[in-house]
Amino acid sequence: MSDIQFVRTEMLPEQAPPATMVGPIGWARANLFNGVWNSIITVLFGLSIVWVFMNLMGWAVSPTWEAKSLNECREIVGGAHGGACWGVINDRWLQLLYGFYPLDANLLSAVSGVDPELILSDARAHIATPIVMILGYWRLNLALVLMFIGLAPVLWEKVPRKFLIVTILFPFVDVFLMWGGSIWGPTMAFVGFVLGYLVFNYVRPAIGNLIGVILTAAVPILWWLFAAGPIAGVLAQATPALALEAVSSRQFGGFFLSISIGIVAILGSLPLGIILALGRQSDLLIVKSICVGFIEFIRGVPLITLLFVANNLLNIFMPPGTNFDVILRVMIMVTLFASAYMAEVIRGGLAALPKGQYEAADALGLDYWKAQRLIIMPQALKISIPGIVSTFIGVFKDTTLVSIISLMDPIGLSNAIRANQEWNGIVWELYAFIALLFFVVCFSMSRYSMYLERKLQTGHK
């Protein structure tokens, strides 16, 4: 009997991999259950997470939203620690968002017909809460809307470039809306930047880089110190109608105060950081010395020390009669603090660029500023995106330090709320709400940075 041999004449179709090797099951086997010890640790951690989650949900899911005091919460949940007391959030969430900023009682009265005195005593008792929030705080809400409109053309390239005018004007309109008073103060501040721009573009090329750069910084500063105030005062007296009701800094507070300080510091620290980073690498001895000294001094001093300086000492160095608002002083100090760290982040991006990029710019015949704008800085900023966003997030979270100098940010307000007899003893509910607000903003910045990194990715994967 002879052996019969057979050779297959067609290819078998590809078979799907085993279900245990791909998908969620495959990932779990490869990463969570790829050994005895890893499996034991995974099970223990899983049980711990389930235990924490169940206890947290048991505490958080509490029917206390309508409670008017901590004692009422305890009666509802049946014990001193039976569940969260969310009544404090329902009662004080507008205060946590807006602080003690005054309601526009006249506008609310015109819309609702309720007497302004009743609105000031307890607006939510007479008018629906959404109306109180939108119209009562219309100045802060409008500033927030303008902020998003101004950021849109910076963050997304599909937004029409004409919205950049909002980006440029927003800081000055924001000051006018939030603090009120005459419109001419912010206008004169804007004129100072215009003067610096004119000097840099039209005077500097004629007198040389060194003197031109010094004048670019000196002219706006001299304008703000000696000319802006008197001129704004004369124009304010001539046009009293161009003014809003003035609001003092002690009336600011809540999460909106943190947003305001954080946004100003973020928007101001990036261009200042770029200038300081370029100045630190400059061949001009005076410019380099000033930039190095500023960066090293700011990085060597804690932020809380600078906040105390802003609160107590900054006015001493101003000309007689000058009175900077305390929040403006804090914004300036936080911006300067963030710009020093931003300068080092950007300097790292500049150092990471190959030398050939600088040589390519020279070969194209570009001058220093065109080379930086068109070739060097775009690549350095792309490299520095993770560090830049980390600095932004850190600065935004550091705004809670202003509570130490008696500004009513959310942390400061939580202390004031707990001092009230009705809510004395409330802790975790307030901190949970504040943490949620900060998490939403910081997580959004983190997600955007990841989107930007993917969008600007030019290398091979």
Residue pLDDT, tens place only, 204-254: 888 877 788 888 889 999 998 889 989 999 999 999 888 999 988 888 888
424 Cβ contact partners less than 8 Å away, ≥ 6 residues apart: 70, 418
pLDDT in tens, 126-162: 888 889 999 999 999 999 999 889 888 888 888 888 8
Domain boundary among 201, 219, 238: 238
Residue 400 and residue 272 share a domain: yes
Number of domains into which the chain is organized: 4
For residue 109, give both structure tokens: 């009265």
Going by C-alpha positions, the residue among 271, 240, 246 that lies closest to residue 171 is: 271
Residue 399 and residue 270 share a domain: yes
Burial 57-94 (b: 16+ CB within 10 A, else e): eebeebebeebebbeebbebbeeeebbbbbbbbebbbb
What CATH number is associated with residue 259?
Answer: 1.10.3720.10
Q: How far apart are CA 345 and CA 434, in angstroms?
A: 29
Residue 426 and residue 290 share a domain: yes
Residue 181 φ then ψ, to 5°: 80, -160
pTM of the entire predicted model = 0.81
CB 427: neighbour CB atoms within 10 A? 11
Domain that holds residue 318: 248-455
Question: Which amino acid would we find at residue 232?
Answer: A
Residue in this structure with the two tokens 């001093």, named with its chain if needed: 301
Top-confidence range, 79-83, 159-163, 297-301 = 297-301
- Reduced to 3 states (helix: H, G, I; strand: E, B; else coil), residue 243 is strand
Residue 320: pLDDT over 70: no
Average pLDDT for 164-181? 89
Please report, rounded to a whole number, the percentage of residues in the chain having pLDDT higher than 90. Answer: 28
In a domain, 79, yes or no: no
In a domain, 149, yes or no: no
Average pLDDT for 85-95? 90
Residue 123 and residue 208 share a domain: no
Residue 12: pLDDT over 80: no
DSSP-assigned letters across all residues of 91-105? HHHHHHHHTTPPP-H
Q: How far apart are CA 92 and CA 85, in angstroms?
A: 12
Q: How far apart are CA 265 and CA 173, in angstroms?
A: 16
Residue 325 and residue 222 share a domain: no
Residue in this structure with the two tokens 């640790």, named with its chain if needed: 41
Residue 213 and residue 131 share a domain: no
For the chain, helix, strand, coil in percent to 5 are 75, 0, 25
Residue 373 and residue 233 share a domain: no
